Amino acid sequence: MVKRSGMMAFAACALAAVAGYASAEPITDEQLKEKLDAYQAKYAEMRQAGGMTREMLENLSKETMQGVDVSSLTFDQLKQVQQRNLLRFAGLESEGAQRAAEFAKEPTAEGASASVLRIMMLMNKAYEQDDFTEVSAAVGQTLKHPGLGELLTTSDAGLVMRGLGSLPQEARDEHLTALCALAASLPANMDKSGVLGIRSLASSLAGAADKLDRDAYEQARTHMAAIVAAAASAAQDEREKKYLDDAVAFLNSAYAKGELLNHEAPDFEILWSSDESITSLKDLRGKVVVVDFWATWCGPCRASFPNVRELVKRYEGYPVAVIGMTSPQGRHYPGDKGGEPVDCTNDEAKEFGLMPGFMKDHEMTWPVMFSRQNVFNPDFGVSGIPHVAIIDPAGKVRYNGLHPGGSLKEKAEKIDALLAEAGLQTPGPVDTPAAGEEKTGG
């Protein structure tokens, strides 16, 4: 039993603690800069030492945010800590979202920026709880914010494009019409940061183009393409121009136009193939073709090799071709076999020559090709790798954006259905051996 005197003492301590917290002085810009500089130095030190874990990052973030009252941060201070993911790893995103909501009440460009920032702060919690209700509500508020138009002409315009372009499907689809309308009305004098971020929003809309009014989507797509093309023509920086040119290519791609699925597959200009009999997709007509976009530097790509090997084994002797498609990267990574990356800048032949050894070391039992088109192929909407597309025997893309890892059954069912549709033989149930068994009619 707790004595009354103990309870009173506890209450007094609690009140003192609350009073102390309430009277805490807001952190100054100079004090925050000192904390962030120390964070960056420690972060760089940990990265250089190698072996950084999430726990280490969380501890560093909590140490950095110790003594910082999130509820008293200025908007600029809030942006600074959010940009470094400090709120996320210190477990303070809920507090950050509440603070952003206060700033979002202002009918100004800064208020609209705070509204977008709030969306990004709510995202991780939504994924963890598999509940996007709060995110979706925040998106709706942002799209109706009176300061949004002005915001797009400021240096925070990129925040809008990235924030709205990275929405989870559950939150995106509820606001597709409004997002499409926003894309169609982006200002011609949009800030450069926003123009550079257009591809993010364009990619999100392209992934849901079949759910939008065709004319409205096409208006949005061509408008975005015109803005980016104008910026690309005026760009002086070589890297910036390359990025913008790639964004224009994406916006004018078969994927962005809605002309990929159930259309003839865009072909590749093959620069090198481990199988010299394959010079284009037309050489594989009559087979189901599984295209796996990958690169030597991509860890998740290499991790999926056992799954790809399993798929190849299942279809030995059947009209199915699995091909690994990459492009010159200017650098070759030995991968899991160790060794230092090899510089292949401006030397495609050198990079091609290293591939057979890589294939042998990693037991790649399927052909690999280098294409002139970037591995982040705009026509196939490749925004991240690994990325798989499946083409039917008639040469039409039937599936896109799959992952090579995971269940063999799911991929086999798709491939078997395409084989059967074309009147071709299939290996039978997924759990039977792929090679050396009697084939069954499809």
Q: Is the model's pLDDT at 85 over the cut of 70? A: yes
Angle between helices 408-421 and 305-314 (to 10 degrees): 40
> Among 373, 369, 329, which Cα is nearest to 348's?
329
Q: Which residues, 6 or more positions from 299, have their beta carbon under 8 angstroms from its beta carbon? A: none
Residue 81 neighbours by CB under 8 Å, 6+ apart = 32, 36, 65, 68, 73, 87, 96
pLDDT at res. 270: 97
Cα separation, 62 vs 81, whole angstroms: 12
Spatial separation of the C-alpha atoms in residues 168 and 127, rounded to whole Å: 9
Of 427, 400, 423, nearest to 311 (Cα)? 427
* Residue 210, amino acid: D
pTM of this structure: 0.79
Tell me the mean pLDDT in the region 387-415.
Answer: 95
Mean pLDDT of 9-21: 38
* Residue of 148, 183, 411 lying closest to 290 (CA atoms): 411
Q: Above 70 in pLDDT, residue 280?
A: yes
Question: Does the pLDDT value for residue 437 go beyond 80?
Answer: no
Whether the predicted pLDDT of 15 surpasses 50: no
CB distance 337 to 361 below 8 Å: yes
Share of the chain above pLDDT 90, in %: 84
pLDDT grade for 20, boundaries at 50, 70 and 90: very low
- Mean pLDDT of the 318-344 span: 92
Reference 307, options 382, 430, 411; nearest CA is: 411
CB 276 within 8 A of CB 228: no
* Phi, then psi, of 308 in degrees rounded to 5: -65, -40
Confidence of residue 364 (pLDDT cuts 50, 70, 90): very high
Mean pLDDT, to the nearest integer, of 143-165? Answer: 94
Q: Measured between alpha carbons, how far is 16 from 12 in angstroms, rounded to an integer?
A: 6
Cis geometry, peptide bond prior to residue 404 (ω within 30 degrees of 0): no
Provide mean pLDDT across the span 270-296.
Answer: 97
Whole-number average pLDDT of the chain: 90
Q: Token pair 């090579």 is at which residue?
A: 404
CA distance 76 to 423: 63
Q: Which of 9-23, 146-160, 185-199 has the lowest mean pLDDT?
A: 9-23
405-413's contacts with Cβ under 8 Å and 24+ in sequence apart are 405/300, 405/303, 405/304, 405/307, 406/307, 408/307, 408/310, 408/311, 408/314, 411/290, 411/311, 412/311, 412/314
Question: Is 192 exposed, middle or buried, given 0-12, 13-18 or 19+ CB atoms closer than 10 A?
Answer: middle
Asked if residues 341 and 322 have their Cβ atoms less than 8 Å apart, the reply is no
Taking residue 295's Cβ as centre, other Cβ atoms within 10 Å add up to 20
Q: What is the dihedral of CA 308, 311, 313, 315, to 10 degrees?
A: -140
Q: How far is CA 203 from CA 113, 167, 248, 256, in A?
A: 21, 11, 12, 7
Task: Check if CATH label 1.20.1530.20 holds for domain 270-421.
Answer: no
Q: What is the pLDDT of residue 24?
A: 57
Strand partners for 426: 440
First and final C-alpha spacing in the chain:
76
Report how far residue 358's alpha carbon sits from residue 336's, in angstroms, rounded to the nearest whole number. 10
pLDDT tens-place string over residues 116-125: 999 999 998 8
